[in-house]
Amino acid sequence: MQMHSEPPAALSVSQRVQRALQEARAKLEAQEYARTEPIAIIGIGCRFPGGADTPEKFWQLLHNGVDAVIPVPPGRWDVDRYYDPTPATPGKMYLSHGGFL
């Protein structure tokens, strides 16, 4: 964007309109450039529930409609210690399944 040194009050109406159009055009060009600027994906890492550790495995999991939500694995925590099916029970969780990585 071009910087102008004259204060707006010192300019004629047509000069102020021209300046406003130039600034609007510069903003529009910057937005258009940002919208169309190419990006490059140089790497990807995956670790999703259901053992999907590559983009291909994740796609297959989704494509096949696999439900990767499972009971809490015993190595995570003692689900019986923290689980209660009543949501309002203080200090307890009411879910015993999840999508674990």
Say yes or no to pLDDT of 79 above 70.
yes
Same domain, yes or no, for 35 and 74?
no
pLDDT digit string, tens, across residues 27-64: 999 888 888 888 888 888 888 888 899 989 999 999 99
Q: Is 90 contained in some domain?
A: yes
As a whole number of angstroms, the distance between CA 89 and CA 97 comes to 17
Q: Is 65 contained in some domain?
A: yes
- Going by pLDDT thresholds of 50, 70 and 90, the confidence category of residue 3 is low
61 CB contacts (<8 Å, ≥6 apart)?
48, 50, 52, 68
As a whole number of angstroms, the distance between CA 11 and CA 91 comes to 69
Number of domains in the chain: 2
As a whole number of angstroms, the distance between CA 54 and CA 60 comes to 10
